[in-house]
Structures are given as C-alpha cells and as structure tokens.
C-alpha cells in the first residue's frame, strides 16, 4: 500500500463533506470538485481524486485510494525540468530498469502534426474488429486519465493503473536523472500492454511533428 495511504484517508474522512455538498445525490459529478484542494504536510492534495471514479454511495474510499495515489504520483513527479535534456536517455534507462517491456510488443507508431489521435483510434478499432490483441496509447485524455491507455477494447481500469504505477514507481524513483511525467506514463503503458498480452500497440507520438 502507498505510504501516504493513511494521510489521504484521514484528510478525506475529516473534510469530505466540505468538498462534496450533495453527498446524498448518487449522480453527483465529482469532477466538479476538482478546483478544490487541501494542504497537508506541505503537499497539495486533491481529495476529489480519491473518489474520481467511484459513486460515493456505491463505492468505498479504500477501493479508490490506490488509484488516487497513483494519479497523485504521476501528476506530481519531481523531475528536473530546468536541466532536463531532450532525448531518449531517461526513457531507455527506465525501460531497462523495469525489464524492457517494449521489446515484447509490436508497434504501429503514429506521428505527425495533426490527426494523430483520430488515426490511432481508427486503427485500434480496426485491429480489435479483426481479432488482434491490440493496445492503444494516446494523449491527451478527454474525460478520464484512463483513456490514455487501452487494451483489447477497454480502457485501463483503476485497479490496473494503480498496479502498474506501483510496479514502475521504484524504478523511476531510483533514477538520478528523473523521468518526466510523460516518460513515466509511457513506461506504465508498456508494462500494462505486456500484462494484457497485446500483440500490437497503436502508439501515438507525444509531441508530434519533427520533435518526436
């Protein structure tokens, strides 16, 4: 379990009603609360993340916590952006540290300035319809972070995302030149695709154009 688990749970237990006023409404949109945040121990914590995918009246905080902690880690990874150099050195190192999952996959790499997301989605749909065990890695997401990685026709589940982040995190934390947020997400996606037994992954470039 994430070492911040108890800190998150305490904050939610004490302050949940301050952030979700219509607690009896099962259809409440928890994303409405994304603008709020709490400060605890010098860390900015968005309590809505703890329930971002749970209907409060039907799910539990304990079930939501691993996913919320995973998102909090991804979005607050501490990398040296002032001195970070472009290139693949950090990605290569991170992949080696987690066993090079990318070498167990085949890729259709979508690059270009415009239209990458649409082409990727269409190719992924075609592969699924043809019975190929396909994966999709794309950005940004429209509604929920999980949309960024999909396999066999379904977005990664909250529990799966929490699991792959937990697996990749020790390797990322041990790097002297820390991986960027996008590099970390890429590593998590490759680990996820291997776990799902994907044959082919439709991989959208992160930046597009010649800079990729």
pLDDT in tens, 25-38: 433 334 333 333 33
* pTM attached to this predicted model: 0.73
List Cβ neighbours of 176 (8 Å cut-off, separation of 6 or more): none
| Residue 196 predicted with pLDDT over 60 | yes
Interval 102-116 mean pLDDT: 92
State the average pLDDT for the chain: 76
Write out the DSSP string of 40-94.
Answer: ETTEEE-GGGGGTTS-TTTS-HHHHHHHHHHHHHHHT----TTTPPSSSHHHHHH
Give pLDDT, residue 77: 77
In this model, does residue 175 exceed pLDDT 90?
yes
């Amino acid at each position: 379990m994430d070492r911040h688990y108890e800190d998150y749970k305490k904050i939610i237990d004490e302050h949940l009603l301050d952030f979700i006023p219509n607690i009896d409404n099962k259809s409440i949109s928890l994303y409405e609360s994304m603008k709020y945040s709490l400060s605890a121990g010098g860390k900015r914590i968005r309590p809505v993340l703890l329930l971002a995918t749970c209907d409060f009246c039907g799910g539990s905080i304990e079930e939501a916590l691993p996913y919320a902690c995973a998102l909090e880690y991804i979005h607050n990874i501490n990398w040296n952006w002032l001195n970070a150099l472009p290139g693949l050195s950090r990605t290569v190192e991170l992949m080696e540290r987690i066993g090079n999952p990318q070498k167990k996959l085949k890729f259709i790499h979508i690059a270009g300035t415009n239209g990458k997301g649409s082409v990727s989605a269409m190719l992924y749909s075609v592969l699924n319809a043809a019975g190929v065990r396909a994966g999709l890695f794309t950005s940004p997401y429209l509604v929920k972070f999980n949309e960024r990685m999909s396999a066999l026709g379904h977005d990664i589940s909250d529990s799966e995302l929490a699991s792959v982040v937990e697996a990749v995190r020790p390797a990322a934390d041990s790097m002297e030149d820390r991986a960027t947020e996008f590099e970390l997400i890429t590593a998590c996606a490759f680990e996820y695709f291997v776990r799902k037994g994907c044959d082919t992954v439709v991989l959208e470039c992160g930046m597009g154009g010649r800079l990729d």
